[in-house]
Structure 1
Amino acid sequence: MQHLRPARTAGIVLAAALLAAAAAGCGSAGSSNKSSSSGGTATGSNSSVRIGILLPESKTTRYEAFDKPLLEAELQARMPGVQVDYYNAGQDATVQQTQVDTALTKGDKVLILDAVDSKSIQASVQKAHDAGVKVVAYDRLAQGPVDAYVSFDNVKVGELQGTALLAALGSNAATQQIVMINGSPTDPNAAQFKQGAHSVLNGKVKIGKEYDTPNWDPNTANQEMAGAITALGAPNIHGVYSANDGMAAGIATALSAANLHVPLTGQDAQLDALQRIQAGTQTMTIYKPYKPEATAAADVAVEFAQGRTPGNDLLPDKQTSGSGNVVPSKLITPIVVDKTNMCTTVVKDGLYTAAQIGITC
């Protein structure tokens, strides 16, 4: 696997500028059928090329604030004037299937697809394939004849989360009990996070309760945590594995209501999670640098759009989807963030300022 370093200074400035632009333009981010088109100046041969970006939801802040503007900017940088069609499915798999149909009707040549439901989208992927449209699975590996996949090493994410939780539990971990709150059962990434976490935690700590949380919903995670506290008793819970930061927010609320202060994991380096880490109500998060992911996806999409097949330099890895398709892939290494390294990771890369987090660098 190729290990990537955080984005360089130019990327930092771009990411900060894009964040500001995204914050100004996300007033309707919660729409379940959001679409837009942006193409810059429609000049030259690129103006006849359309690329679709299909993202899954907006409850997780990364998609509207980072992935969308970064993908659009990276595509425009490589193919000035290319027509970019953007869709957000609002966590509705049926809506996303309709959005794929719309993108194909518009004549999109390449789809960058982050599937709401990796299994139910298979028919849409097949439809794109039959129409000669290339599909780049982005962040989540969709089923069907996907042409390329760009994401992070998701098993490694779970391993890092589990390792951090064990470290926070200390030398008595074997005698302690945790609750595991995993991600959506329709998201193949969630299964990989879970796999990685179990590979570290099994046999090292007692797992008292475990949940798979539909749609990664923070409110559901809150209810699951409250139920675990009732079932196990607050004094018998010594730590919580949360697969992402959105759910960690709901979990932290339930823990606080029970006056329970225990280690809590997360993922996505959301601003509120970083603030919780500083406040001591969350232990760590996983930072997945969005710019390298968007850059890699744009590199691959543009190769396809220009009629070329991306080589091993762009897709050095392989992943097998739930439908058994072996897909050329690019897997990026994630980074653990805790109180000790915010300045050298998320602040250095321009994801947030120190003032936003409430720290001094």
Structure 2
Amino acid sequence: MNAMTRRIVVGTAAVSIALTMAACGKAGDKKDSGSGAKADKTIGLLLPENATTRYEKFDRPLITAKIKSLCSDCSVDYANAAGDASKQAQQVSTMITRGVKVLIVDPQDSVGIQSSIQSAVDKGIKVVAYDRLAQGPVSAYVSYDNEKIGELQGQALLTAMGAKATPSANVVMINGDSADPNAAQFKEGAHKVLNGKVKIAYEQSGLWKDSVAGQKMSAALTQIGKNNIAGVYSANDGMAGGIATVLKGAGINPPLTGQDAELPGIQRILAGTQSATIYKAYAPEADATAEIAVDLLQGKDFKSVTPTTAKSGSGQTVPALLIGATAVTKDNIKDTVIKDKLYTVAQICTAEFASACKAAGIS
């Protein structure tokens, strides 16, 4: 990720904020909290989609709760684009009309959102890019070290393949949506590790959708042959779910990676139908973003939160915080997502996965 001047790695942190502090109604609700707050203390929050479980289950309530803890009379105006870039552009316009003073944006389309961000800034609104670096004049950017995440994914796949990881071994790569700049960074990092070690025999975008990823995997099976696939790289757990279904239908079970440490992904790892995922602690990202947003609202200096910089596709150099991540396999589930209270043992070890949990020493 040559756009980054340096990487800051923040260790796995406990996701321990009580999620019930924030209301979790339907996407598009106008206010998460503080509906009686003054208009000049409103922070807008726009998230890109709801197919990936993290946004509604973790990001939204964590950001809202942290903002309220830092500014009790602040209000959060929330909307989710549901995977529609044009809808998100309209949501920005709505936030401008409502008079938000700071806008947190996780762009569905990092390029297409540029004119909307420019319009917001022209109205005096400060914009914080969250998780994905939007193009345009944003004040700050908080995300993960995404190229490193791709490297972790690639290494996890090679480790799972073991002795089968040879230069002639066929690997299928199902990448994320090209409208998401993070997807390109995951891909770049994975290629850095995989190239020369295995043969990338089929590579397509799954658009962050399990159904599309499943279709691409089916096409790969037809093109390569089910007995000639040594491993599968999936850029996230949602797509890995669709891929795993197709692989099971074909009667094969090659190593399969993912990302986001989604609950079904953790359960597939225990069951042996997924090899690894990437755990990105959501609280540090959400907390830092909320702190920057409140600082911007109050006219305070936020630079202590952003010790590095990133350069967007439109050429802006943006103060940034880039957070580290951890590869999760069956061996360290207890020491990562359970230890950090992302999920409880009861949530993971349902009746279907009880025996797998016992075998893994999780109880």
Q: Give me the TM-score of the superposition, normalised by structure 2.
A: 0.92
Counterpart amino acid of residue 213 in structure 1:
G
Distance 1:344 1:86 in 2: 33
Question: Alpha-carbon deviations, 1:273-307, whole Å to 9, x = none?
Answer: 00000000000001111111000101111110011
SS at match of 1:35: coil
Write the distance in 2 (CA, Å) between the matches of 1:117 and 1:236. Answer: 36
Tell whether 2:279 aligns with 1:279.
no
Counterpart of 1:182 in structure 2 is 175
Amino acid at match of 1:168: A
Instruction: Report SS of the residue matched to 2:165.
Output: helix
Q: Are residue 2 (structure 1) and residue 1 (structure 2) matched? A: no
Q: Deviations over 1:295-337 (max 9, x none)?
A: 01011111100112321x2101111111111111000001111
Shift of 1:133: 0.8
In the TM superposition, structure 1's runs of 4+ consecutive aligned residues that sit over 4 Å from their partners are none
Query: CA–CA distance in 2 between the matches of 1:21 and 1:75?
Result: 11
Look up the match of 2:3.
none
Aligned partners of 1:42 and 1:82 also within 8 Å: no
Distance 1:5 1:280 in 2: 27
Paired residues for 1:18-57 under 5 Å: 18=19, 25-26=24-25, 28-29=26-27, 34-40=28-34, 42=36, 48-57=40-49
Aligned partner of 2:65 in structure 1 is: 73
Unaligned ranges ≥5, structure 1: none
Partners of 1:59 and 1:255 in 2: CA distance: 21
What residue number does 2:217 align with? 225
Q: 1:41 to 1:116 in 2, by over 3 A?
A: closer
In 1, are the aligned partners of 2:40 and 2:101 still within 8 Å (CA)?
A: no
- In 2, the alpha carbon distance for the partners of 1:41 and 1:128 equals 22
Measure how far apart 1:84 and its partner are. 0.8
Deviations 1:176-215 (A, max 9, x none): 111000000100000000000000001110011000223x
In structure 1, how many angstroms separate the alpha carbons of the residues matched to 2:144 and 2:11? 13
Task: Give the alignment of 1:189-268 within 5 angstroms.
Answer: 189-214=182-207, 216-268=208-260
Shift of 1:146: 1.1
How far did 1:350 drift? 1.2
Where does 1:319-330 land on structure 2 (aligned, <5 Å)?
Answer: 319-330=310-321
Contact 2:143 2:323 in 1 (8 A): yes
CA distance in 2, matches of 1:47, 1:126: 21
For the Cα contact (< 8 Å) 1:47–1:81, is it kept in 2? no
The CA distance in 2 between the partners of 1:135 and 1:258, in whole Å, is 47
> Do 2:39 and 2:100's aligned partners in 1 also have CA atoms closer than 8 Å?
no
Residue 348 (structure 1) aligned to one of 320, 328, 339: 339
How far 1:21 sits from its partner (Å)?
7.0
1:177 and 1:206 in contact (8 A); partners too: yes
Question: What is the aligned-residue RMSD (CA, Å)?
Answer: 1.6
Contact 1:162 1:198 in 2 (8 A): yes
**Whole-angstrom distance in 2 between the partners of 1:164 and 1:7:** 21
Question: What is the Cα deviation at residue 47 of structure 1?
Answer: 6.8
Give the letter aligned to residue 100 of structure 1. V
Aligned AA (1:342): I
Deviation at 1:25, TM superposition (A): 4.0
What TM-score, normalized by structure 1, do the two folds share?
Answer: 0.92
1:102 alignment partner, one of 85, 94, 98: 94
- How far does residue 6 in structure 1 lie from its aligned partner after superposition? 3.0
Amino acid in structure 1 at the alignment position of 2:145: D
Decide whether the 8 Å contact of 1:271 with 1:352 is kept in 2.
yes
The question of whether the paired residues in 1 share the 8 Å contact of 2:149 and 2:186 is answered with yes
